[in-house]
Chains A and B, each alone.
Chain A
Amino acid sequence: MDIKLQQVSYAYSMGTPFEKRALFDVDLEIPSKTYQAIIGHTGSGKSTILQHFNGLLKPSKGEVHIGERVIVAGKKAKELKPIRQKVGIVFQFPEHQLFEETVLKDIMFGPMNFGVSPEEAEQRARDLVGLVGLPNSVLEKSPFDLSGGQMRRVAIAGVLALQPEVIVLDEPTAGLDPRGQREIMDMFYQLHKEQGLTTILVTHSMEDAARYADNLAIMHEGRCVLTGAPRDIFADAKTLESYRLELPRIIKFQHKVEKLMDKKLSKICLTEEELALEISHSVKRESDEQ
């Protein structure tokens, strides 16, 4: 499902003296089955933008295209439920949305809201628990007896149980330990590849954006200031800096290596693995030449 924002503006508390504009004429196109990262500083409007992807917020100006549906500013949008089933959002700290007596029931809550039969919903829950890396025994436990990291995984399973075509992730790993972060991000990436999901990652982690995303969009003070492939965007450190963003650690490291070796590597490497390979190639070529 393609998602397209056209000249979208949004203001909180419209029409009151407390009106605060959060988005200014944002244009963004997210083709089906791509991995889009939206990066920006706190207060850049990235959390506002993500709520437009399933109609939780309606644009004050402009249009939002979600698959076949168009949400236009100023017009009443009816029947948003089908959209919400197709676009799942994992909010920041999703563990705050848990409420049922057991983990099983909580995961089943979403699908049952969309009219999935209890048997089917239960099946989905049982399948998902393993996928998010939890033992089957948690299903009968109260979600409030779990650890923070486990609760996070349950909440994520609760969104995945909707079987959305588009999944929107708002800082999904905030507050987790490094290993948990990596596990969860890898799981989303695997889902993205295997099930052909469109994935939208809202983050301020340049490292995650570099590692996983096909496309980046940089937000700055409510505007979408830069879009493109990670390699192109990270090639220009100056521009990034003007938006108060840094290069991913791995690229900074690459710059250091290049300085030490006194030569440029053939491409910008987005992950540790890639860089290691590139360096070894480069060293090999050098020794071959000698």
Chain B
Amino acid sequence: MMEKMIFGRYIPGDSFVHRLDPRSKLVFVFAFIIIVFLANNTITYGLLLAFTLFIILLSRIRLYFLINGLKPVLILLVFTFLIHIIFTREGNIVFELGFFKIYEEGVRQGIYISIRFVVLVFVTSVLTLTTSPISITDGIEVLLNPLKKVKLPVHELALMMSIALRFIPTLMDETDKIMKAQMARGSDLSAGPLKDRIKAVVPLLVPLFVSAFKRAEDLATAMEVRGYRGGEGRTRYRKLKWDWRDSISLVVLIALAALLIYLRT
């Protein structure tokens, strides 16, 4: 049941994108999200799309995973596309049925918005698909470091994130196991009226909470036993290394931004 989740999964590899420092990838993606909004005509959107495809090629990720990442936002995508097509009333009429009219500008806006969506989802998917969750949190921790000055518990936040990420698969396995055990005892989660189905969730949730709390307690004890006392003076096992690749990719991004500003209307 749970095995089908693919979105947000890390796929180990050794491509150019895989070897980038998580910090540069995070900055890159964050900046890219902003840059995407610079595009406003066919050339600029085409450029964005081409650039995204180039990144995908570089990352050597099979398109299958990216298409899969698109599935959760598919409804949103179709919805915004339709909204634009129906409600934009500019340009020539391309289709008419009674009082229902579709304008040229509407189609164009719809396509632009869709491209923007796809590009954003693809680039963020490439980030999560090529970077292990641990290095993402490492990267975030370092990038947020300046905020320590304003008393933001950066290390603790990063730790919470990595623990949460670490326990997602564990809890999924656990859910699957408990679900099967209760199904073997005749509880039915997938059939019957809604009321019964909601009731059937209780035998699933209670054991799940019990074990999650137990795990949290065990983890806390284990950390304490090994002398964990927060981020102060803590050295790193995984050192982040800024490489020529990272500088190049950021330079390319700046060039892209400049080009987009130049070409936009």
Q: Which residue of A lies closest to B182 (CB)?
A: A97
User: Which A residues between 83 and 114 are near B, CB-CB below 8 angstroms?
Assistant: 84-85, 88-89, 91, 94, 96-99, 109-110, 113-114
Residues on the B chain within 8 Å of A13, using CB: 3-4
Residues on the A chain within 8 Å of B3, using CB: 12-13, 16, 18
Residues on the A chain within 8 Å of B178, using CB: 96-97
A202 at the A/B interface (Cβ < 8 Å)? no
A51 at the A/B interface (Cβ < 8 Å)? yes
Min CB distance A172 to B, Å, is 13
* Contact, CB under 8 Å: A109 / B203: yes
* Contact, CB under 8 Å: A96 / B211: yes
A173 at the A/B interface (Cβ < 8 Å)? no
A199 at the A/B interface (Cβ < 8 Å)? no
Query: Can you list 19 residue pairs at the A/B interface with Cβ under 8 Å?
Result: A12-B3, A13-B3, A17-B62, A17-B64, A17-B65, A18-B6, A56-B180, A56-B184, A91-B180, A96-B174, A96-B207, A96-B211, A97-B178, A97-B181, A97-B185, A99-B207, A99-B210, A109-B185, A113-B185
Interface SS majority for chain A: mixed
A162 at the A/B interface (Cβ < 8 Å)? yes
* Contact, CB under 8 Å: A110 / B185: yes
Partner of A84, one of B174, B183, B203, B207: B183
Q: Mark B183-215, 1 if CB is under 8 A from A, else 0.
A: 111111000000000000011001100110000
Closest 7 CB pairs of A and B: A113-B186, A99-B206, A110-B185, A97-B181, A89-B184, A13-B3, A99-B203
B177 at the A/B interface (Cβ < 8 Å)? yes
Tally of A interface residues using CB under 8 Å: 27
Partner of A85, one of B177, B186, B206, B207: B186
How long is the Cα–Cα vector from A201 to B65 in the complex, in angstroms? 40
Partner of B184, one of A18, A88, A96, A144: A88
A281 at the A/B interface (Cβ < 8 Å)? no
A54 at the A/B interface (Cβ < 8 Å)? yes
How long is the Cα–Cα vector from A16 to B62 in the complex, in angstroms? 12
How long is the Cα–Cα vector from A113 to B187 in the complex, in angstroms? 6
Residues of A within 8 A of B (CB): 12-13, 16-18, 51, 54, 56, 81, 84-85, 88-89, 91, 94, 96-99, 109-110, 113-114, 144, 158-159, 162
* Contact, CB under 8 Å: B180 / A114: no
Instruction: Indicate the size class of the contact surface on chain B.
Output: 20 to 34
* Contact, CB under 8 Å: A16 / B177: no
Residues on the A chain within 8 Å of B180, using CB: 51, 56, 91
Residues on the A chain within 8 Å of B203, using CB: 97, 99, 109
* Contact, CB under 8 Å: B207 / A159: no
* Contact, CB under 8 Å: A96 / B177: yes
Q: Which residue of A lies closest to B200 (CB)?
A: A113
* Contact, CB under 8 Å: B185 / A158: yes
Partner of A99, one of B4, B65, B184, B202: B202
Q: Mark B45-83, 1 if CB is under 8 A from A, else 0.
A: 000000000000000001011000000000000000000
Q: Mark B21-60, 1 if CB is under 8 A from A, else 0.
A: 0000000000000000000000000000000000000000
* Contact, CB under 8 Å: A54 / B4: no
* Contact, CB under 8 Å: A96 / B64: no
How long is the Cα–Cα vector from A13 to B4 in the complex, in angstroms? 6
Q: A13-B4, A91-B177 are in contact. Are A97 and B183 (CB under 8 A)?
A: no
Q: Mark B146-184, 1 if CB is under 8 A from A, else 0.
A: 000000000000000000000000000010011011111
* Contact, CB under 8 Å: B185 / A162: yes
Residues on the B chain within 8 Å of A99, using CB: 202-203, 206-207, 210
* Contact, CB under 8 Å: A81 / B184: no
How long is the Cα–Cα vector from A110 to B6 in the complex, in angstroms? 34
Min CB distance B109 to A, Å, is 35
* Contact, CB under 8 Å: A16 / B187: no
Min CB distance B26 to A, Å, is 26
How long is the Cα–Cα vector from A94 to B183 in the complex, in angstroms? 13
Residues on the A chain within 8 Å of B182, using CB: 97
* Contact, CB under 8 Å: B4 / A16: yes
How long is the Cα–Cα vector from A136 to B188 in the complex, in angstroms? 30
* Contact, CB under 8 Å: B183 / A144: no
How long is the Cα–Cα vector from A56 to B3 in the complex, in angstroms? 15
Q: Which residue of A lies closest to B202 (CB)?
A: A99
Q: Which residue of B lies closest to A19 (CB)?
A: B3
Min CB distance A47 to B, Å, is 10
How long is the Cα–Cα vector from A156 to B51 in the complex, in angstroms? 59
Residues on the B chain within 8 Å of A94, using CB: 181
Partner of A162, one of B186, B207, B211: B186
* Contact, CB under 8 Å: A159 / B186: no
Q: A84-B184, A96-B177, A99-B202 are in contact. List 10 more A-B contacts (CB 8 A).
A: A17-B64, A18-B3, A56-B180, A56-B183, A84-B183, A84-B185, A84-B186, A89-B184, A96-B181, A109-B187
* Contact, CB under 8 Å: A54 / B210: no
Q: Which residue of A lies closest to B209 (CB)?
A: A99
* Contact, CB under 8 Å: A97 / B186: no
Min CB distance B7 to A, Å, is 12
* Contact, CB under 8 Å: A54 / B184: yes
Min CB distance A51 to B, Å, is 7
